[in-house]
């Protein structure tokens, strides 16, 4: 299975996950080993990278209304394959925030699982064309994905209008990232966007 590869992934990822090589971070090593095993089992073509089809083979993801948007988040602009590094990088957004306490990072850069970065991940689910703005059209498309055929166009349109009206503070009829942060300021994003490993 190539577990030595995990060792190198660990070395590389120490920077991203702010993990120090001390015994307390056996947890991190454990998690990365699990995730590598998972990556390998999803990689049916055994070419060291996942394609969109590999993700769509997961039934629970295929029936998720936003499944395609989530899959898209793993693939950088214009690319069709994601390697283990990219896979880990995207998943790192979902580490619980308290894990950062265990590993005192001395990097100046913000960890991927900060509240801000979690919100950015969610923002990008709405922002279909990656132009850092959520337009009315984009909001409508995402809403349509979530409700299917069960709500009429007019009703959906009015929902979108109302949402933009409440969020938009600078009057450009679209939602920027800072406006998005303001809308969600009371939401416990850290808890809703965290995945905990069992031991």
Partner 1 sequence: ANCLARYWPCYVMLTGCSVTPLLVFIIVPAILGVSFGIRRIYMKTLLKIFEWATLRMERGAKERNQQLYKPCSNGIIAKEPVSLEQEIQEPRGGGGEFDMSDILYFCRRGVESIVDDEVTKRFTAEELESWNLLTRSNYNLHHISARLTVLWGLGVLIRYGFLLPLRVTLAVTGVGLLVVLTSIVGWLPNSRMKKYLSEKVNLMCYRICVRALTAIITYHDSDNKPKNGGICVANHTSPIDVLILASDGCYSMVGQAHGGLMGFIQKTLVKACPHIWFERSEVKDRHLVAKRLSDHVADKTKLPILIFPEGTCINNTSVMMFKKGSFEIDCTIYPVAIKYDPRFGNAFWNSSKFRMVTYLLHMMSSWAVVCSVWYLPPMKREEGEDAVQFANRVKSAIARKGGLVDLLWDGGLKRSKVKEVFKEEQQKLYSKVLVSRQEDPEHS
* Residues of this chain that bind partner 1 (CB under 8 A): 1, 3-4, 26, 29-30, 33-35, 37-38, 41-42, 55-67, 70, 91, 94, 121-122, 125-126, 142-143, 146-151, 159, 162-163, 166-167, 180, 183-184, 186-187, 189, 192-198
Considering the complex, what minimum distance in angstroms separates the CB of residue 64 from partner 1? 5
Q: Which is nearer to partner 1, 106 or 165 (CB)?
A: 165
Longest CA–CA separation in the chain, Å: 58
- Grouping H, G, I as helix, E, B as strand and the rest as coil, residue 49 is strand
CB 83 within 8 A of CB 49: yes
Beta bridge partners of 4: none
Q: Which is nearer to partner 1, 2 or 106 (CB)?
A: 2
Considering the complex, what minimum distance in angstroms separates the CB of residue 77 from partner 1? 20
Residues in the chain: 199
| Joined tokens for residue 93 | 């957004």
Considering the complex, what minimum distance in angstroms separates the CB of residue 44 from partner 1? 9
Considering the complex, what minimum distance in angstroms separates the CB of residue 108 from partner 1? 27
Q: Which is nearer to partner 1, 51 or 107 (CB)?
A: 51
Q: Which is nearer to partner 1, 173 or 187 (CB)?
A: 187
DSSP 11-56: HHHHHHHT--SSGGGHHHHHHHHHHHHHHHHH-TT-SSEE-HHHHH
CB 55 within 8 A of CB 74: yes
Considering the complex, what minimum distance in angstroms separates the CB of residue 96 from partner 1? 10
* Residues contacting 106, CB < 8 A, separation 6+: none
């Amino acid at each position: 299975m190539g577990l030595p590869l995990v060792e190198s992934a660990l070395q590389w990822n120490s920077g991203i996950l702010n993990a120090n090589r001390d015994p307390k971070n056996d947890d991190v090593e454990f998690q990365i080993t699990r995730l590598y095993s998972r990556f390998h089992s999803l990689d049916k073509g055994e070419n060291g990278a996942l394609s969109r089809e590999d993700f769509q083979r997961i039934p629970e993801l295929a029936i998720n209304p936003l499944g395609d948007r989530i899959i898209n988040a793993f693939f950088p602009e214009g690319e069709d394959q994601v390697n283990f590094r990219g896979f880990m990088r995207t998943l790192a957004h979902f580490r619980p925030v308290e894990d950062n306490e265990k590993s005192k990072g001395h990097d100046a850069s913000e960890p991927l699982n900060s509240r801000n970065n979690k919100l950015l991940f969610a923002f990008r689910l709405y922002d279909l064309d990656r132009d850092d703005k959520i337009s009315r059209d984009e909001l409508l498309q995402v809403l349509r994905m979530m409700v299917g055929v069960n709500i009429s166009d007019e009703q959906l349109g009015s929902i979108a209008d109302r949402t933009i009206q409440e969020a938009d503070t600078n009057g450009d009829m679209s939602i920027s990232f800072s406006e998005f942060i303001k809308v969600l300021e009371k939401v416990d994003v850290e808890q809703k966007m965290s995945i905990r490993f069992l031991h």
